[in-house]
Structure 1
Amino acid sequence: MDQKIKTLKIIHLALVAGVTLAFTILGNFKTIFDMVIDNSSLFYAFIPAIAYVTSNFMFKNILRKIQNDTSNDEKLAIYQTASIARWAIIEAACFLMLILKPDFLLLGVILLIYLILLAPKKTQIFQTLDIRS
């Protein structure tokens, strides 16, 4: 069980590191607060909100597949799938913000911070999956 959680933490770290590296290389942090939202760029301003809602919906939808009689290993496998799907949506939104609308770098950084906060923690996983240690 601990090995699977460790694997999940490594996957999360790799995703965060990749996005952070991309932001460091491609991002222009000198103009991070020069974001101007007009009618033509309004859609890009909603990308983080859409990613947040979609990722949480997918996460909860995948976790609903867990039944009461499911073993702990199977629960953890489903949780891992749900977490990776959630992180992938947030990561994709970060890259979209960085590549399609670099002026909105601040929104991408906010998504990156959210992705960092989604780091898997053993107590949180056990609580979500109703596993007794």
Structure 2
Amino acid sequence: MQEQLKIFKIIHIALVVGIIMAYFFLGNLSDFSQLKMPEINNENMIYLAIPIVAFLLSNLLFKRLVSKIESNLSLKQKLVAYQSATIVRYAILEGAAFIILIIFPEFIVFGILLIVYMALLRPTEQRIKRDLHILD
């Protein structure tokens, strides 16, 4: 499991660092005035839904994909399926962050919140065992 955990961590770090770099360069985060809370009105309310839907959808799909992993599979097979579910989760969060950055950069704060959430999803052995219902 340790070898597969290293792969999970490398994928996670690469995705998080990549999106942080994109935000730093494309979002001009060196200028801290970008980090102010945007004015929310009826016209831009749809853009507020992007991070909320991404959060809910990523968790829903992840849980659904993990629940479909059969308990009679070997640990290696379970980890491959788990890795696929994790990548789907990361892709949804990263895609939503990029959509916010490119389409409506005034809401960059919400994209940063998605990145922070994605960083907090750091893969650990305990998290994998808990998600796959593996007992020690």
Alignment size in residue pairs: 133
What CA distance in whole angstroms lies between the structure 2 residues aligned with 1:34 and 1:121? 33
Structure 1 runs of 4+ with >6 Å offset: none
Task: Give the TM-score normalised by the residue count of structure 1.
Answer: 0.94
Structure 2 unaligned regions, length at least 5? none
In the alignment, which residue of structure 2 is the partner of 1:124? 127
In the alignment, which residue of structure 1 is the partner of 2:17? 17
**Offset of 1:130 from its aligned partner?**
2.4
Secondary structure of the residue aligned to 2:122 is coil
Q: Is the 8 A contact 1:51 1:90 kept in 2?
A: yes
Residues 50-61 of structure 1: pairs in structure 2 closer than 5 A? 50-61=53-64
In the alignment, which residue of structure 2 is the partner of 1:39? 42
Task: Give the TM-score normalised by the residue count of structure 2.
Answer: 0.92
In the alignment, which residue of structure 2 is the partner of 1:86? 89
**Offset of 1:34 from its aligned partner?**
4.3
Equivalent position amino acid for 1:113 in 2 = V
In the alignment, which residue of structure 1 is the partner of 2:8? 8
In the alignment, which residue of structure 2 is the partner of 1:64? 67
Q: Is the 8 A contact 1:94 1:108 kept in 2?
A: yes
Deviations 1:89-129 (A, max 9, x none): 00000001111111001101111100000110111111221
Equivalent position amino acid for 1:58 in 2 = L
**Offset of 1:31 from its aligned partner?**
2.7
Structure 1 unaligned regions, length at least 5? none
**Offset of 1:132 from its aligned partner?**
3.7
In the alignment, which residue of structure 1 is the partner of 2:110? 107
The two structures, once aligned, show a CA RMSD in angstroms of: 1.2
Q: State the identity %.
A: 40
